[in-house]
Structure 1
Amino acid sequence: MELLYGGLPFWGFALACVVTLVSGFVKGAVGFAMPLIMISAFSSFMPPDLALAALILSVLTTNVHQSLRFGLSAAWASAVKYWRVIVMTCLGIVVSAPFVVVLPQQLLFVLLAIPVMGFALMQLSGWKPLIPHRYRNPTEYGLGLVGGLYGGISGIWGPPVIVYLLAIGTEKSEMVRVLGVVFMIGAVVLTGAHLGSGVLNTETLPFSAFLVIPAAAGMWLGFQLQDRLDAERFRFWTLIVLMVIALNLLRRAVFG
């Protein structure tokens, strides 16, 4: 049972399950934010390496479900269309994962939070930037790499990709599917990288595996809400979640 609890007291294990359920619900509703919610909450009552290990399998399995929810052919079409983002995200994760215990995460949190918050505020104010088609390919390369570099050390690689998809006006169902594909492939790479780094090991794997159960339950509940949101409400709530993510990253940078 000690392995199942991740070495936590029962109250810590129960709280981890509740956090995972809530993060699954948010992911089911808007398509992202699970690792951000989990790592932020977990870090307040468990060691950072255990917090990262705990979220990995939940993130992996829920992203497999999200990417395949609309069918294998649709997922493959999204992977082909956005292959630049996917390749660069994976590259960034592989490069940065070994430095998870070395780099100052506070600085990275600030560098990620400021542009994400700025974009969300501009979008909520009514300003909608357009990325010309001729600049989309290099933008995908750049944002994919940036997201991957952050993801390897924090488990969070979504915000740059989400910002890009919103900026090009991606339709709701396609956006959720694309995020699922990008996150799924990134999660596979993250899992492999941290099996190699030692973060995910025989002591942390059982705990991480158990949390898949509340993650799946929360995601199913979130899907029920997502299906009822029209495009504008979906966009609005996506931006609100981005704002919360940015504010939380700043909090972590300042207070640790």
Structure 2
Amino acid sequence: MNDYFSPHLLIVVLTFFLAGIVKGVAGMGLPTVAMGILGSIMSPVSAASLLVIPSFVTNLWQLLMGPGCLALIKRFSLMMLGIVVGTLAGTWLLTSVDTEYASVGLGSALILYAVHGLWAKPLSIPGRRERLLSPVIGLTTGAINGATGIFTLPAVPYLQALGLSKDNLIQALGLSFTVSTIALAAGLARGGAFHLGNVALSALAVIPSLLGMWVGTTVRERISAAIFRRWFLILLAILGLELAVHPFFL
């Protein structure tokens, strides 16, 4: 635990403050930013373990902020089950494969997320296909979550394609992210990667995350969300590229 103080602790605090700002402005992105930055200074499995508590707190709040919580849980129960199963399977890779390969996987996921956000056209999925697609999307999202600590793809574009109202979409994303976080914590604990020192530092990271969210919601009222999102995705792609190619130049 002592190793986390001084510069290391400062980087962690600043990372979650920045990630909180992004979530406050865009409504999501805290785990993506945190994993991207922390993955460049520590192993992806260590970064994922620090992500658990601040991600859980912020996403649970997002889930519970509206009245449609129970209805959304019932509607997306198969998707959530798929996320749990996929994540538990994926964390085996995160906790057992070589750190260099995990870094490549994390970087590739960041690039894919950024490219999709920058250039992919919005999708539209008819309601009759939802029951078939939800568990598949859940399993895929869970596998990526477990292997990289990022749980936005393909869950986010899928939920956006269902034509949910703005409030229901925000809550549905909160539900997906909350379940993903709990499943990731369970998978890390099963793999022996969720240690007491990580829990303490992860809990500490809640404070800068919430402060960042407060700043982000204030910033959102003063800047163009579209411009912010574009530059955020560009920087994320650059960060992902560095993570993906770095192991090959060591």
Query: What interval of TM-score do these two structures reach, taking the shorter chain for normalisation?
Result: 0.7 to 0.9
Q: 1:81 to 1:53 in 2, by over 3 A?
A: same
8 Å Cα contact 2:117/2:233 also seen in 1: yes
Distance between the aligned counterparts of 1:170 and 1:235, measured in 2? 20
Equivalent in the alignment of 1:174: 168
Aligned partner of 1:28 among 24, 28, 31: 24
State the alpha-carbon separation in 2 of the partners of residues 48 and 117 from structure 1. 19
**Alpha-carbon separation, structure 1, partners of 2:87 and 2:229:** 24
Q: What does residue range 25-174 of structure 1 map to in structure 2 within 5 Å?
A: 25-70=21-66, 73-103=67-97, 104-105=101-102, 108-109=105-106, 112=109, 116-117=113-114, 119-123=116-120, 127-174=121-168
8 Å Cα contact 1:93-1:148 kept in structure 2: yes
TM-score by length of 2: 0.82
Percent of aligned pairs with the same residue? 22
1:253: which partner in 2?
244
Q: CA deviation at 1:10?
A: 0.5
Say whether the 8 Å CA contact 1:147–1:161 is kept in structure 2: yes
- In structure 1, stretches of 5+ residues that fail to align are none
* CA drift at 1:33: 1.3
CA contact (8 A) 1:159 1:242 kept: no
Distance 1:51 1:109 in 2: 11
Q: 1:111 to 1:168 in 2, by over 3 A?
A: farther
What TM-score do the two structures reach when normalised by structure 1?
0.81
Deviations 1:126-147 (CA, angstroms, capped at 9, x unpaired): x443223332332222221111
Q: Which residue of 2 aligns with 1:212?
A: 206
1:217 Cα offset (Å): 1.6
Counterparts of 1:187 and 1:97 in 2: how far apart (Å)? 12
> In the alignment, is the contact (CA less than 8 A) between 2:43 and 2:103 conserved in 1?
no
Number of matched pairs: 244
CA distance in 1, matches of 2:109, 2:38: 20
> Per-residue deviation at 1:35?
1.3
Alpha carbons of structure 1 residues 197 and 255: separation in structure 2 relative to 1, 3 Å: same
Aligned mates of 1:134, 1:57 — CA distance in 2: 36
Identify the match of residue 195 of structure 1 among 189, 192, 195.
189
- 2:246 and 2:183 mapped to 1: Cα distance? 30
Paired position in structure 1 for 2:11: 15
- 1:116–1:243 contact (8 Å) kept in structure 2: no
Q: After TM superposition, give the deviation of residue 118 of structure 1 in Å.
A: 5.1
Checking the alignment, whether the CA contact within 8 Å between 1:122 and 1:128 is kept in structure 2 is: no
Mapped partners of 2:78, 2:198: distance in 1: 33
**Aligned alpha-carbon RMSD (Å):** 2.9
The 3-state SS of whatever aligns with 2:96 is coil
